[in-house]
Amino acid sequence: MEVPDQRLSAATFEELALPLFEQLYNFAHWLAQDAAEAEDLVQETYVKALRGFSGFQLGTNFRAWMFRILRNTFLTSRTGLKSTVVSDEEIETIPSAAPNPETVLIERANREMVRQGLTELPVPFREILLLCEVEEMSYEEIAQVLTIPVGTVMSRLFRARRALRSLLVEKFKGVQNGV
């Protein structure tokens, strides 16, 4: 039986791209902080990816490619432009507290606290933590999504964790002091 080429390719794209739907939506919503905007971002991502699929390189990580399209779409959206006034070089200089000895703190911090902390983090920190912990991407995949070197992934991740930890320390102290 002959399979028409359009059908085969469309089926391939659908097979690869549809399983990523929920992950992409979650990531989009975290970036945009708004449901309607997240839907627009995901919709646009799929349209762009479908259009660019023929140029998709064999051996490239498909998931990283999709996330990269989504992120670039976000960066050029109105919310994205507003949230990322900092350049990659500037991110590296955002101060973050030294590691806190109260490590058990994170275990005690409840999920809502962690959610709030993530929301308050600058986008570059928020996105790298989500890609690493929620999407469980390797440094290499993250580097592909963010189009930065692996070394930068490591240092930014390190800084992001520090930043979140110090936010949580503040929140946790607030709760303990009955604020």
> Segment near another protein (CB under 8 A), from 70-78, 80-88, 96-104, 169-177?
96-104
The binder of another protein chosen from 39, 77, 96, 122 (CB under 8 A)? 39
The single residue among 68, 71, 161, 171 that binds another protein, judged by CB under 8 A, is 161
Q: What is the CA radius of gyration of the chain?
A: 19
Q: Give yes or no for residue 1 binding another protein (CB under 8 A).
A: no
Binding site for another protein (CB under 8 A): 5-18, 21-22, 25-26, 29-30, 35, 38-39, 42-43, 46-47, 50-51, 53-54, 56, 58-59, 62, 98-99, 101, 103-107, 109, 111-112, 114-115, 118, 129-130, 132-134, 136, 138-139, 154, 157-158, 161, 164-165
